[in-house]
């Protein structure tokens, strides 16, 4: 009788330890797959275009109005080189620039400003 009771207690303790150790490993395959899916969802879809237009002026400290294909558009910029170029640029200047467009939010950000617009 004592052996049966001793074995039962030992078995319960082993099961409890096994459950605790199994829960602490953090190797849950479903959790890893879920994190990968979340990382893929969080990454914005960005399209990069090279455009030519006429600089109209600054809308604020990080946005410029540029006439592209006869339509006034506002583009954001955060690059210091682009900022300094726009600070000294006169209205009506023809420019060529690379813009990243977030396809989800339609945010347009200038990432590069060329020295001279393309000809022709």
Q: Which residues contact 50 (CB under 8 A, 6 or more apart)?
A: 96, 97, 98, 99
pTM over cut 0.85: no
Task: Assess whether 19 and 68 both reside in one domain.
Answer: no
Task: Assess whether 76 and 101 both reside in one domain.
Answer: yes
Task: Assess whether 97 and 82 both reside in one domain.
Answer: yes
Q: Tens of pLDDT along 39-82?
A: 666 666 899 999 999 999 999 999 999 999 999 999 999 999 99
pLDDT band at 102 (very low <50, low <70, confident <90, very high): very high
What is the number of domains present in the chain?
2
Average pLDDT over residues 77-101: 95
What pLDDT sits at residue 1? 67
What mean pLDDT, rounded, does the chain reach? 83
Beta bridge partners of 43: none
Residue range of the domain that includes 14: 2-42
Does 76 map to a domain? Answer: yes
Q: How many Å apart are CA 110 and CA 91, to the nearest integer?
A: 17
Does 34 map to a domain? Answer: yes
CB-CB contact of 76 with 109 (8 Å)? yes
What pLDDT sits at residue 9? 72
Task: Assess whether 37 and 65 both reside in one domain.
Answer: no
Task: Assess whether 109 and 54 both reside in one domain.
Answer: yes
């Amino acid at each position: 009788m004592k052996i049966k009771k001793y074995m039962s207690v030992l078995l319960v303790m082993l099961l409890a330890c096994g459950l605790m150790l199994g829960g602490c490993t953090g190797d849950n395959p479903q959790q890893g797959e879920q994190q990968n899916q979340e990382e893929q969802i969080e990454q914005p879809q960005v399209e990069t275009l090279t455009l030519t237009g006429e600089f109209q002026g600054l809308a604020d400290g990080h946005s410029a109005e540029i006439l592209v294909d006869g339509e006034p558009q506002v583009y954001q910029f955060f690059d210091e080189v682009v900022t300094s170029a726009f600070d000294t640029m006169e209205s009506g200047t023809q420019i060529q620039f690379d813009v990243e467009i977030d396809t989800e939010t339609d945010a347009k950000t200038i990432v590069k400003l060329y020295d001279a617009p393309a000809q022709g």
